[in-house]
Amino acid sequence: AKTGGKAATALFDRSMTDRASERMELEGDLRWAIDHGQLRLHYQPIVSLESGRIREAEALVRWEHPKRGLIPPAKFIPIAEETGLIIPLGKWVLEEACRQARDWSETTKEGAAMIIGVNLSTRQFQQNDIVDDIAGVLGRSGLPPAHLKLEITESLMALSPDDTVAKLHDLKALGVHLAVDDFGTGYSSMSYLANFPLDTLKIDRSFVQRIGEQPEAEAIIQAVITLAKTLNLCVTSEGVETAEQKEVLRKMGSDRGQGYLFSRPLTAAAFSEMLSDRDAV
Ligand code: C2E
Ligand code: CA
Ligand code: CA
Ligand code: CA
């Protein structure tokens, strides 16, 4: 037992060191990646549950690493947040997403009125010049502000409420839409919903997944949708994977759906093709 314990400890130490050095390597590489064009955006359609038409696209970042291949955001966004690299990374995402959305709005019919959703990390939101930055990006891209939706998370609610409300109002004044992402997974109080100038609630996948399996989850979704409607918010359901989930959500009043049932996130080229195909119908 003693040797076993020792071996286990050695293994544990080694994997700890490996992970720490992998992190350091990734951090260095990420710095380089941002400046040297290794980041990519994939786009996932968000459709009307009534008509099936594409109303929005969420921009989701990936990292095309020369040695490791395509790295998902879960692997590097946390590192970017800790190191502050999320600031230049987030700026790049905004610029690229707005440029691409402007392009689609001019070249395709289905893309003409489409809104682009961009994830805004809390650390980005906390930057003093974030409102000016976003105004600058919109100006440079030529994308009408009403075609941009910023997805924020409930962790914002933990910040100083007055500052947060003021900043959200400044962003709204630009003409952009605001969505609460992953609704139901974070903050425990919902009172902010009434005080914040929001447009959309995105119901987290963890609730959607339990449709048909857990009546309690369905009851929560229905209550959230009813509340959202009372507050005049648009509801998007995330992680829709089955026709049953879609049907239940539609009947409960969810306006929009996003998930593998409709499409996985696509490269810009594949998304362009999907928009053109839709135009051809
Ligand atoms: P999120 O904002 O909640 O994005 C939705 C995630 O759910 C995406 O994962 C998407 O690929 C995945 N997804 C969509 N439909 C389905 C489905 O039907 N089933 C399942 N199992 N998954 C589905 P992804 O692209 O790996 O992104 C993960 C997270 O990374 C995002 O979660 C977001 O929090 C963060 N992220 C991605 N891009 C950015 C970015 O540009 N900036 C920031 N700050 N965060 C980002
Ligand atoms: Ca999101
Ligand atoms: Ca989400
Ligand atoms: Ca989520």
Which ipTM did the prediction report?
0.98
Q: What whole-number percentage of the chain has pLDDT above 90?
A: 80
The answer, yes or no, to whether any atom of ligand 1 lies below 6 A from the CB of 186, is: no
State the Cα–Cα distance between residues 281 and 265, nearest whole angstrom: 22
Low-confidence ranges of the chain (pLDDT < 70): 1-14, 16, 187-188
> So what's the pLDDT on residue 105?
95
The answer, yes or no, to whether any atom of ligand 1 lies below 6 A from the CB of 265, is: yes
Strand pairing category for 148-152 and 177-183: parallel
Taking CA atoms only, the protein residue closest to ligand 1 atom 7 is: 239
The answer, yes or no, to whether any atom of ligand 1 lies below 6 A from the CB of 61, is: yes
> So what's the pLDDT on residue 1?
41
State the Cα–Cα distance between residues 97 and 134, nearest whole angstrom: 12
pLDDT digits (tens, 9 = 90+) for 125-164: 999 999 999 999 999 999 999 999 999 998 887 788 888 9
Average pLDDT, the chain: 92
Structure tokens given for 114: 């489409």
The answer, yes or no, to whether any atom of ligand 1 lies below 6 A from the CB of 73, is: yes
CA of 122 to the centre of ligand 4 (A): 15
pTM: 0.93
Question: What HEC string does 145-195 produce?
Answer: HHHEEEEECHHHHHCCHHHHHHHHHHHHHHCCEEEEEEECCCCCCCCHHHH
CA distances from 14 to 9, 10, 17, 22, 68 (A): 8, 6, 5, 12, 21
pLDDT digits (tens, 9 = 90+) for 81-91: 999 999 999 99
State the Cα–Cα distance between residues 225 and 256, nearest whole angstrom: 12
> So what's the pLDDT on residue 21?
81
Atom of ligand 1 nearest to the CA of 80: 44
